[in-house]
Amino acid sequence: MIHSSSDFWYRFKKDTLALSGCTIVICLFIISLLAPFISPYDPTEIDAGNVLAPPSSAHFFGTDDLGRDVFSRVLMGTGISLKVGFFAVGISAVIGILLGALAGYYGKWVDAIIMRFVDTMLCFPSFFLIITLIALFEPSIWIIMIVIGATNWMGVARLIRAEFLSLKQRDFVLAARASGARDLRIIFAHILPNALAPVLVYATLGIASAILIESSLSFLGIGVQPPTPSWGNILTGGKDNIEIAWWLSLFPGMAILITVLGYNLLGEGIRDSLDPRLR
């Protein structure tokens, strides 16, 4: 691992692909904030006289089968997708950090129980598990975020456990234990801050994964429900009209592609900057 934040930023700034990913992520964040103000139309407004209109100066990305402006819907869908990604990854990170820290610090039977639970969770295909859980509840953006987060924490748990197993025998931990520090203080104040670097990489890549899952669920009709715009449910309209309205598939598909690419480039760049030996 690198030894200081200055080393990290030096390496990160020299990585062209990482900077490209960072630029894409920043632009998406700005778009999500400004979308309500820069959208030329109400994304839920139906115009029966302008159904499936091709891209033009009036509608940059054309209109859908209800006459709604696709450009406005793609812009508003940016905020939905990023919200799902951040919240879902936040939930999975909290669960994974807590369980991984307990397993790595205490070891023995605590480690055995937690890691067998992790192995059990990994046996289930996560996407089908998500579909099953969502089917039990009424689909909503909050249910989607919670379910995605609650079914994708196993990788974080394994990373944190490995870091704790390595760090708990270091001198600074032994010194804290000798000084009478309680277990919780040692875990959260001494070990955890030094174990979060790989979680940062995992979380960045996890946002891209969560966005893909949300788009897939919305495409299947069990994710974000219309009229709320989502890249996935816009693609559903594209599937139904693929032969006569190519723009309904192209533009939301490009939005998903660029977003996932941006987060993947950023995550890989952070990983390489934190540990240049991985290059």
pLDDT in tens, 207-241: 999 999 989 888 888 888 888 888 988 888 888 88
pLDDT in tens, 163-186: 998 888 888 888 888 888 888 888
**Beta carbons of 63 and 50 less than 8 angstroms apart:** yes
* pLDDT of the residue at 177: 84
Q: What is the chain's mean pLDDT, rounded? A: 87
Which residues contact residue 97 at a Cβ distance below 8 angstroms, ignoring those fewer than 6 apart?
156, 157, 160, 192, 199
Give CA–CA dist 30/91, Å, rounded. 23
Give CA–CA dist 150/144, Å, rounded. 10
Per-residue confidence band for 12, with pLDDT thresholds at 50, 70 and 90: confident
Per-residue confidence band for 261, with pLDDT thresholds at 50, 70 and 90: very high
pLDDT in tens, 14-47: 888 889 999 999 999 999 999 999 999 999 888 8
Per-residue confidence band for 277, with pLDDT thresholds at 50, 70 and 90: low
Give the rounded percent of residues in the chain with a pLDDT score beyond 70. 96
Task: Let me know if domain 41-258 sits in CATH 1.10.3720.10.
Answer: yes
In the predicted structure, residue 50 carries a pLDDT above the cut 90: no
pLDDT in tens, 54-96: 999 989 999 998 899 999 999 999 998 899 999 999 999 999 9
**In the block, which residue shows the tokens 């760090």?**
167
* pLDDT of the residue at 61: 93
Backbone φ and ψ of 180, nearest 5°: 95, 10
Per-residue confidence band for 266, with pLDDT thresholds at 50, 70 and 90: very high
**Beta carbons of 72 and 42 less than 8 angstroms apart:** yes
* pLDDT of the residue at 5: 66
* 111: nearest Cα among 121, 120, 101: 101
Q: What is the pTM of this model?
A: 0.87
Backbone φ and ψ of 234, nearest 5°: -70, -40
Give CA–CA dist 52/245, Å, rounded. 6
* pLDDT of the residue at 48: 84
In the Cβ-directed half-sphere of 254, how many Cα atoms lie within 13 Å?
10
